[in-house]
A and B are shown apart, each in its own frame.
Chain A
């Protein structure tokens, strides 16, 4: 009985805490629209939407929006309790970026986004397959998946074509929904970190780093700068092998077997280097709560540099050859073009957004830039087609190589990593204007990381500083998927699909969760 009372009073306390950031659901939607949508075509949106969705706290689902001002780095939180009938105004009516998440919310919590332009089930694809949207003479429907050619993740696509021309494409994901967010609840931080690493296997560092940042913020802790350097280094290593992989897949989609084999070789060498350094080819366990990986950087530095140099030489050589192969370039030019206005409309992130000329990169907006003393030049391109996504990845590879060299330098000349101390010795400064330091409600934290596919965001709430009470994950690909269908039907033919698919390089697992 006593236990119950304690629990109830605790909840009340936490409820009071939430009061300050509470608002009605209509206010919350208006607030997001006001901050995130450009007033007119010439204005840039003022804030980025880091997270929009629901959290199950304390017992009933609440709406939550987390925004960040990319210039000042200020993060703002807002919760809203939905009205008792569960009908909330739809953000997707104003902003298509919220469409998928509202459909998921509607199916999971029963909250109904009123006015949603396309309210249909998104979970349980085994029961609800998408229906066609195009009607007329000569329309042909071609279902593809969930098991597709080659080694790929499971997802379903409904093509609607007239002749060769793709008129409409509907991707149906969530075949692999494992409900990781619910699995994380009541887990200890250490166990939940294992889950975070396995949201998307090829973005292990991005997800585990975002998770650790969020948990550290919730604990009011910060980590020593050396650990931040090391985490950034892992993040760039992850970007290198992912970009090599994506470009290999793109070469393969365009029928360039030599390019594909050589770039796959680069990827393998990088994976082996990761394995040698951390014991895991996918860098599992390399990002730890307030701890380093126990690598003696001064001993391995020359080895790391020589592997990276070899990889760089091969990568540069073969991407150059690809760039000068007319049949390759022809396949990519103008293929799967992403229109510029989709960048804001869907809140695009990562290389896909940068290939449209948008300068969005969380690395640029984070403190690591100041800490490591470099400035990241964002490689952007203007056309938004498959060729630009190829070029952006090539350029980013070179930026990452430079960052790794700089970080290695810092790590070797800094303190021995085994002596830097644990994060317990480093309480968070009380007032700071830093992005991830602007104060969330008590017990909550947000982690923002630029993974290989774009911005990864973890929002979580801790209970008693030990267990997770809430965990929300927004992978990079979940922002991009809705645009994928649009880009494929943007004047392309059937045989362009593999090229577009490879040039986007999206993750299914990270979106399905």
Chain B
């Protein structure tokens, strides 16, 4: 099989162990994640949803999805911000308690990607709200999203203070 040459991430298991160890070191306790789609093609959502499947099972790391932004510590944004979603994104962000983190997932959220020239599009996520971590990829793999969450927490260490 062509696994070695094609695999962008190399050894899955090793990666998983490292990520799990690093996450535990940083998080200590659980983090609640709210996802928002501001104009994606749905592949990014599919990868984010995969975080909760038995392979990634991000609950074991203390990460959970929450239905309400009022309970969320971290906002996971996917897609390029369309004009219709701009105010919705702002409202969601403003509804979150502080401190709050924002992770932009996918090329679209990073800089608009292939849709950046559309007149229906406002632009990348950081044009509307501050972003703590960017996750490249089209779509980023679930591991990359986990990595993004991790670096967001490292980038703003006060969030993880719970001792």
Contact = CB atoms under 8 A, between A and B. Distances in A.
A and B interact: yes
A180 B79 CA distance: 14
Interface string A259-279: 001101101100100011111
Contacts of B114: 183, 194-195, 198
A275 B79 CA distance: 21
A276 B53 CA distance: 19
Interface in A305-319: none
Contact of A204 (B2, B43, B120, B141): B43
B82 A175 contact: yes
B80 to A, nearest CB: 7
A183 B108 CA distance: 15
A154 B121 CA distance: 15
Contacts of A178: 39, 80, 82, 115, 118, 120-121
Interface stretch (A56-64, A144-152, A378-386): A144-152
Nearest to A273: B1
Interface string A170-199: 000011111110110000000000110011
B118 A182 contact: yes
A282 interface: yes
A174 B83 CA distance: 11
Interface string B61-88: 0000101010000000001101111111
Interface in B105-122: 113-115, 117-121
A125 B119 contact: no
A264 B87 CA distance: 33
A276 B55 CA distance: 16
B126 interface: no
A: interface residue count bin: 35 or more
Nearest to B91: A147
Interface in B123-143: 138-139, 141
B155 to A, nearest CB: 23
The listed residue with most A CB atoms (<10 A of its CB), out of B42, B54, B69, B79, is B42
A151 B49 contact: yes
Nearest to B78: A151
A247 to B, nearest CB: 13
B: interface residue count bin: 35 or more
A335 interface: no
A422 to B, nearest CB: 22
A276 B37 contact: no
A388 B121 CA distance: 39
A261 B8 CA distance: 26
Given A147-B92, A176-B85, A275-B6, A198 B67 contact: no
Contacts of A507: 42
A265 B55 contact: yes
B120 A151 contact: no
B2 A300 contact: yes
A183 B88 contact: no
Contacts of B113: 198
A176 B37 contact: yes
Nearest to B46: A202
B42 A147 contact: no
Nearest to A127: B84
B102 to A, nearest CB: 14
A174 B84 contact: yes
A90 to B, nearest CB: 25
A282 B120 CA distance: 26
Nearest to A153: B37
B101 interface: no
Given A201-B41, A276-B6, A300-B2, A154 B80 contact: no
B84 A175 contact: yes
A200 B41 contact: yes
A428 interface: no
A284 interface: yes
B38 interface: yes
B138 to A, nearest CB: 7
Given A125-B84, A176-B37, A264 B42 contact: no
Contacts of B82: 175-178
A199 B79 CA distance: 12
Contacts of B39: 154, 175-176, 178
Given A150-B67, A277-B6, 12 more contacts: A148-B67, A149-B67, A151-B48, A176-B39, A177-B84, A183-B114, A198-B41, A202-B46, A204-B43, A276-B6, A300-B1, A303-B1
11 contacts: A149-B67, A154-B88, A198-B113, A200-B41, A200-B42, A201-B44, A264-B52, A265-B55, A268-B54, A276-B3, A509-B42
Interface of B: 1-3, 6-8, 35-50, 52-55, 65, 67, 69, 79-80, 82-88, 92, 113-115, 117-121, 138-139, 141
In the A-B complex, the 9 residue pairs with the closest CB atoms:
A201-B43, A149-B67, A201-B41, A264-B53, A201-B42, A126-B84, A303-B1, A151-B49, A509-B42
Interface of A: 124-126, 146-154, 174-180, 182-183, 194-195, 198-202, 204, 245, 261-262, 264-265, 267-268, 271, 275-279, 281-282, 284, 295-296, 299-300, 303, 507-510
